Amino acid sequence: MTKPAGVADADDPSVLHNAIALTARIREASSEIENGRRLPETLVRELKQAGIFGMAMPRSWGGPELDPLTQFRVLEALGIADGSVGWCATINCDGGYVTAFLDQDTARAMYPDINVGTAATPTPTGQAFPVPGGYRVTGRFPFASGSQHSEWMWVGCLVMQDETPLLDESGVPTTRQCLVRLSQCEIIDTWHTTGLRGTGSNDIRITDLFVPVEQTFNFRDPSVVKRSGPLYSFPFIYVAKLSAPGLGIARHALDALIEMAAQKPARRYLTGNQLEPVRMMRDDVYFQETVGRAETLLASARAYQFETMGDLWQSLPHRYRSPASPRHQLTCSAFAWTSFNSSARLRAGPRSIKRDRSTAASVIS
C-alpha cells in the first residue's frame, strides 16, 4: 500500500521522522529562502543534523542507506514544506551514491562527515586533460543546486587529447566524472529565476584544477560500482528521486488551493431575478470538479512512481530481472510527474508554488 505524503509511521526510519519534524521550521523560513536565493545556514545545519544529506550513505559507514522509496518520501515531505528545500535535498544527498563509484578507502577519507552536502552537475560540460596521477580539469558547470552550502562538487567532463575529445574504440567521446571540493571552485551568481529561487543553482567555474585519478570514475566502466548492496548495484538509480520534490510541490499547491477555497466566497450567479446565496468557493460544483481532477492526477502519478520504483527496487537483488529495464523504469517514473504537471493547471495558492512547479518540470524534462 502506498503511504500518504508527509506522514511517517512509528516503524519508519528516523530520517523520515526528522524531515517531517522540520517542515514547520522550513515554512517559517520560506520568505528568507525566496529572497536570499539560497538555503539559510541555520536551516542547512538542521538538515545535516536530521541526516537528510547523508540518507544514501552506507550502513558500513554509519549511514542509514535508505531504500529509494523511503528516500522519495523524505524528499516529498520536504518538497511539500518548500520546493527549494526539497530540490536541494534531492541533489545534495548524492554523495551516498557517487562515493560507491570510488575506491572505498579513498571515498571514506573524503567524507569523514557523511552528512555534508554534495552538489552535482554530471553532464560532461567540462574538459579533463590526462596528466600523471590524474586530470587537469577546466570548465563551466551549470545548475549546481546547493552550491553555497555543499562540501563537494561532482562534475562531468570530456577527456581531452591534443585539444580534441578522446574517442573510445566505438568512436564515442570518453567522459570522466570528477569530485572536487567546492572551496576549489568559483561560484558564478547566475541563479536569478522565478522558480526554485532558493536552490542556489549557480554556475560553477573550474580552471586548470588537478584532480587525482582516485577521485574520478567513468560510468561506462563495467566495474564502476565499488560497493556492495542493492542500493548501489544500478549506477543510475540516483535519478529515481528527481520527481519527489515535484510531487511534493504539487501536494502543497493543492493543499493551499483547498485552504484558500474555505475562506474565499464563490462567484454568485443570478437565478431568476435574484443572486444566489453567499457560499464559499469550496462549495462550488465547478471548483469541486477541478480539484477532484487534480487530486486524481496527482494520486495516479504518485502511485505509478511508487509502483514503478518498487518493481525496480525488488529487481535489483536479482540482477535486474524485472519486466522492464531499470532505464525504462526511471523514464516512466519521470513521465508520471511531467504528465501530472502538464495536465494540472492550478491557478491559486502562493505564486512561488506555481513557479517552483514549472521550474522543476523544466529541469526534469
CATH number at residue 265: 1.20.140
**How many domains does the chain fold into?**
2
Which of 167, 183, 217 is the last residue before a domain boundary?
217
Same domain, 259 and 199: no
The C-alpha cell of 142 is what?
551549470
Whether 293 and 351 map to the same domain: the answer is yes
60 inside domain? no
351 and 258 inside one domain: yes
Residue 126 inside a domain? The answer is yes
List pLDDT tens digits, range 20-43: 999 999 999 999 999 999 999 999
What residue ranges of the chain have pLDDT lower than 70? 318-365
Does residue 170 belong to any structural domain of this protein?
yes
Residue 103 cell numbers, joined: 575506491
Mark whether 267 and 181 lie in a shared domain.
no
What is the residue range of 307's domain? Answer: 239-364
What is the CATH number for 153? 2.40.110.10
**160 lies in the same domain as 246:** no
Whether this prediction's pTM lies above 0.85 is answered by: yes
Q: Looking at the domain assignment, is residue 208 inside a domain?
A: yes
212 shares its domain with 134? yes
Quick check: is 155 in a domain?
A: yes
Q: Which residues of 51-84 are buried (b: 16+ CB within 10 A; e: fewer)?
A: bbbbbbbbeebebbbbbbbbbbbbbbbbbbbbbb
Task: Give the type of residue at 310.
Answer: G
pLDDT given for residue 324 in this prediction: 42
The residue out of 217, 248, 281 marking a domain boundary is 217
Taking CA atoms, 333 is separated from 31, 214, 328, in Å, by: 31, 33, 9
Residues 301 and 262 in one domain: yes
The answer for residues whose C-beta is within 8 angstroms of residue 252's C-beta and 6 or more apart is 79, 80, 81, 83, 349, 353
For residue 233, tell me if it sits in a domain: no
pLDDT value at residue 271: 81
Q: Do 207 and 275 belong to one domain?
A: no
Please write down the long-range contacts of 137-140, taking CB distance under 8 Å and 24 or more positions apart: 137/178, 137/180, 137/206, 137/208, 137/209, 137/210, 137/211, 138/206, 138/207, 138/208, 138/209, 139/205, 139/206, 140/188, 140/203, 140/204, 140/205, 140/206
The pLDDT assigned to 365 comes to: 55
Residue 227 lies in a domain: no
Question: Based on the domain organization, do 200 and 250 belong to the same domain?
Answer: no
State residue 345's pLDDT score. 41
- Partnered with residue 205 across adjacent β-strands are 140, 186
| 31 within domain boundaries | no
Helix (H, G, I), strand (E, B) or coil at 270: strand
Q: Determine the Cα–Cα distance for residues 95 and 193; give it in Å rounded to an integer.
A: 26
pLDDT at 101: 98
Together in a domain, 190 and 288: no
Of the residues 186, 217, 248, the one at which a domain ends:
217
Whether 161 contacts 107, CB under 8 Å:
no
Q: Does 360 lie in the same domain as 250?
A: yes
Query: In this structure, are 246 and 212 located in the same domain?
Result: no
